[in-house]
Amino acid sequence: MRSIVVGAGLGGLTTATLLARHGHTVTVLEQSDQPGGKMGRATFDGCTFDTGPSLITMPFVLDAFFRHAGTSLREQLDLIPIDPACHYRWSDGTQLDIPFDAQGIPDAVGKISPSDVIPMRRYLDHSATIYRATKDVFIFSAFDGFVEFVKPRNLHLLPVLPRLRFTQTMHGLHRSTFHDRRIIQLMDRFATYNGSSPYRAPATLAVIPHVEFAYGAWYPRGGIYAIAEAFARVASMHGVDIRYRTAVQRIDHDGRRIRGVVTADGERIDADLVVSNVDAHITRTSLLGESLPEPSDPSTSGFIMLMSVDRRDMGLRHHNVLFSDDYRQEFTDIVDRRVPANDMTIYIARSAHTDDTQAPPDRENWFVLVNAPATGRRDGTWQQTAPAYAERVLQRMRRFGIDPSIREMQLRTPDDMVRMWGADRGSLYGQSSNSMFSAFLRPRQRSKRFPNLWYVGGSAHPGGGVPLVTTSGMLAAEGILGRPFPVQS
């Protein structure tokens, strides 16, 4: 079988590797000069920056992929636990460290809200129960939508359906569970892990806190980008031909089956099947030429500030969050009005705090992320306002006592995410999860129109984030090869 994978993101490399390991001749076509897709790397002023994901959870998924590829996580990466997992601040001066060990989280919460210790224990038990009941249906298996609930193998779900709380929002669940507004906001933040609003996303997403708390926050020595390098290395080990600086202009078909691709240079490459690691909507409109309306509710995008700063102790950890004063207004701005928030929540990652190879001794590498509306365009309209918005972010940071001495800074906006990744309007995770039906509407691995076209990556089932896009690649390989690649959690 001759297989073409469009895009060298983790989902595409996962499928490419497993297909090649089991006899396919695989070519990966990547428009940029490096693998990883949204998992990128930048270097300047002696500092190294991860420009995409900054936190690794569910390391067992990475280990499953490497094992199915004939190696192991331990052989390919050196994962370091991050403790505390995250440092939180509010503008009233409150600070909270969430420990790596989930058993310590209720007591940590109790330091700022004693009345929420017991509710937190109950919440974590609830989150774990939902995860265990649904993971093999909603995450680690091919998904057929509502039909899943009537399949004999999933009848065990029926008794727990009321506990999934499809009709309640995450914020509604948290408001009815916790007493302190700061703890409610802390838990609401997990909706942003797939680019959604806690005021619209279903309470089913309460599984997300369990994933981070139970499986921990991890960092691979050498940077998050070491994961992309490991995936590309293992793919090449199995004979995958990765062609960089090779953009695909269109996917050819005869109306019934995919026949191959045509590159931007006019080269036609025939194939028995094509796997697209490009956003599913962009694949259908730009590469297949279908006429489709824009998805009505894309996930959020991001405004990123990469900063080399003078090393100075400001009480920060590896992962840090500075919360806005009005979380509801922040999401009204970003999700409903589609404008940048004036009072924004700010995430700061400082990997040099854990890994001194990422910056010289006298400076630090700061990755600053603010949630932004998915309004990116190729015409670069975001670029015009980016410097002014960066100054607003810095002003907000100063209210928390964070005033970095910046040596050099680079900005990345939703426009860049359209240009660099082909992301629909710069959305980070494809379609949002802002409704109870979102999980059922996300594109499956196999195209409904073309039996030999497959989708992987954050816009496809089961969603965005390093573990899920890796899972999407394994699920596509399962469907193509007709053999399982199980994940043991």
Q: Read out DSSP for 113-128?
A: -GGGHHHHHHHHHHHH
Please count the residues of the chain.
489
pLDDT of residue 144: 67
Across residues 290-294, what is the average pLDDT? Answer: 87
Q: How confident is the model at residue 437 (pLDDT cuts 50, 70, 90)?
A: low
The pLDDT of residue 344 is above 70: yes
| Greatest pairwise CA separation for the chain in angstroms | 65
- Nearest CA to 428 among 318, 347, 322? 347
pLDDT (tens digit per residue) in 231-249: 999 999 999 999 999 999 9
Across residues 208-233, what is the average pLDDT? Answer: 95
In sequence order, what are the beta bridge partners of 27? 4, 241
Looking at residue 320, what DSSP letter applies?
E
pTM above 0.75, yes or no: yes
Rounded Cα distance, 201 and 77, in Å: 34
The pLDDT of residue 438 is above 70: no
pLDDT of residue 489: 76
Report the interhelical angle of 117-138 vs 207-215 (nearest 10°). 100
The pLDDT of residue 41 is above 80: yes
Its sign, for the CA torsion 273, 277, 279, 280, is positive
- Lowest model confidence (mean pLDDT) among 83-97, 104-118, 144-158: 144-158
pLDDT of residue 149: 59
- Nearest CA to 425 among 330, 294, 333, 332? 294
**Mean pLDDT over each residue of the chain, to the nearest integer:** 92
- Nearest CA to 456 among 19, 2, 6, 1? 6
Residue listed under structure tokens 């914020």: 171
DSSP string, 381-423: HHHHHHHHHHHHHHHHHHTTT----EEEEEEE-HHHHHHHH--
Element (H, E) at 210: helix 207-215
Rounded Cα distance, 113 and 94, in Å: 11
Which amino acid makes up residue 201?
A
pLDDT higher at 178 or 464: 178
pLDDT higher at 486 or 441: 486
Burial of 296 (0-12, 13-18, 19+ CB in 10 A): exposed
The pLDDT of residue 316 is above 70: yes
CA atoms within 13 A on the CB side of 86: 25
* Contact predicate 26/20, CB 8 Å: yes
